Amino acid sequence: MEYQRSIGQGFSDHIGGVRYESFSGKGSFSVGIQYQFSSKKSYSVSKGYALYAGYRYAFGKITTGNNPFIGARVRFSLQNFDGKTSLNSLLITPSAEAGYHFVFAKRIAAAPYLGYGYTLKLSKDYNSLDEDVGTRFLPGISASYRF
């Protein structure tokens, strides 16, 4: 599972979801499904679902131990912004991230990270405002059990 924040100018979202990660050598590929909802303090209020795919590279000897990492991901989200319509806006957010992967008891893992990305609108603007597009600071943490 994963929790992430998306913070921009006048913009703040909470993102929670599930992820699958496959390890190979020093790298790992991940895919995930997320639910995203904005804070009531945000200028435009929204909620929606997202899919993402990403890659992380570990700087340790193997990915099964404690290691710093860097990575990249691309998230596609369908956001429904509060307003008169129930139509969704399609957004894409490519991002880079860096963090540390902790392993506990050989099977339980946690990975806090900091990310930076840029959100672009790919569809017509349905009740969203200008702060929905732009740079994003993306702190987060993922937790997992390794089979």
For the cut 90, the answer to whether the pLDDT of residue 110 exceeds it is yes
Q: What CATH number did the domain enclosing 29 receive?
A: 2.40.160.20
CA distance 127 to 101: 39
What is the Cβ-side half-sphere exposure of residue 115, based on CA atoms within 13 angstroms? 31
Tens digit of each residue's pLDDT (9 = 90 or more) over 46-95:
788 999 999 999 998 766 679 999 999 999 998 877 655 556 778 899 99
- Domain extent, residue 97, equals 2-145
Tens digit of each residue's pLDDT (9 = 90 or more) over 6-15:
888 777 888 9
CA distance 92 to 79: 11
Question: For residue 79, which of 40, 141, 17, 34 has the smallest C-alpha distance?
Answer: 34
Task: Please state the domain count of the chain.
Answer: 1
Count Cβ atoms below 10 Å from residue 23 Cβ, excluding itself.
15
